[in-house]
Amino acid sequence: MSHDSGFARLPAPPYYAVIFSSQRNGLDPAGYDAAAARLFDLVQEQPGFLGAESARDAGGFGITVAYFTDEAAIAAWREHTEHRAAREYGREHWYAQYQLRIARVERAYGGHPADAAPVAAVEEEA
């Protein structure tokens, strides 16, 4: 992932989240890393893409959450030719199991704890 920090900078809700959990099978790490980087670049160009966050633990279990303005943007990204090809390839070659959930984000809260601000006070700042 070619972002500076792990956090996506998003507008105020509502917007949509694609929550992708996956267990890597450990095979083809170079191919997987290259495809992940390429898809991350591609999705930046997708109209309606807002940002993404991703973490994978040492055991190969990972969660990526990609954020979009609306369901139409998610559908368009799903139909993207190169994304579709990578998805079909990855399903057979890179993952032991995966789960995809589509959700409508209704509220967001956050903070830099160093500011000692109560969560409630920074609602909607995200």
Q: List, in sequence order, every residue forming a beta bridge with 54; answer none if it has no partner.
A: 64
- Cα separation values, 91 from 23, 37, 115, Å: 11, 17, 43
Please state, as a whole number, how many other Cβ atoms lie within 10 Å of the Cβ of residue 108: 16
Inter-residue contact 72 to 84 (CB < 8 Å): no
Length of the chain: 126
Q: Which is nearer to its own copies, 45 or 52 (CB)?
A: 52
In this structure, what DSSP letter does residue 69 have?
A: S
- Beta carbon of residue 51, minimum distance to its own copies (angstroms, whole number): 11
- Beta carbon of residue 114, minimum distance to its own copies (angstroms, whole number): 8
- Beta carbon of residue 42, minimum distance to its own copies (angstroms, whole number): 19
Q: Which is nearer to its own copies, 43 or 62 (CB)?
A: 62
Inter-residue contact 20 to 78 (CB < 8 Å): no
> Residue numbers of the site for its own copies (CB under 8 A)?
5-7, 13, 17, 19, 21, 23, 53-59, 61-63, 65, 91-92, 95-114, 116, 119, 126
- Beta carbon of residue 53, minimum distance to its own copies (angstroms, whole number): 5
Q: Which is nearer to its own copies, 40 or 98 (CB)?
A: 98
